Chain A
Amino acid sequence: ETGVTQTPRHLVMGMTNKKSLKCEQHLGHNAMYWYKQSAKKPLELMFVYNFKEQTENNSVPSRFSPECPNSSHLFLHLHTLQPEDSALYLCASSQTGANEQFFGPGTRLTVL
């Protein structure tokens, strides 16, 4: 199993739908991250969890709701999204906040 996996790889949803993105890491790391990569902005850090506890929330709208049930799994629950939320959502993990991050393949999200 590769280091960091994400599902689904592609997702198309309407503005009234509810969906979830899943990330799993097989590296034994303690920290997990969600990033948003859109066409016209630099990669944006959204949330960070360390040992299942949220340590960073970069003013992300409440229509994005993260969940980290254990150090290996991270979810991003989506509801009532806007078209401008269409982006590539990347998950990453690291041993600690100061260590190199390893990225998953991303979920390409399109909001109609």
Chain B
Amino acid sequence: NAGVMQNPRHLVRRRGQEARLRCSPMKGHSHVYWYRQLPEEGLKFMVYLQKENIIDESGMPKERFSAEFPKEGPSILRIQQVVRGDSAAYFCASRGETGIFIGGYNEQFFGPGTRLTVL
């Protein structure tokens, strides 16, 4: 049972280029979350998606950032015209459906992250 997969693990871009980060959730999981972690800082929520729908994007910068989770394929976090301040670790997490049998707890499982460096 493969865990959450993210690729690439490391991504280097020059200012102005585009970055595409991919996340494949755990098998059977339809909920995906993206987080950003700056060096020496905590996780910051960016966006929550369920298949083909954006549920909550309150943590996403208004410009240059977008996310999708198509019916088929991985979730994509896209950053256009990257700037140095975008350099961070981007983590994806997935979860299954909350059910009464697990007491309503909806644990998130994290992928290994993509470390983006903008030169």
Q: State whether these chains interact.
A: no
Q: Which residues of B contact A (CB under 8 A)?
A: none
Q: Which residues of A contact B (CB under 8 A)?
A: none
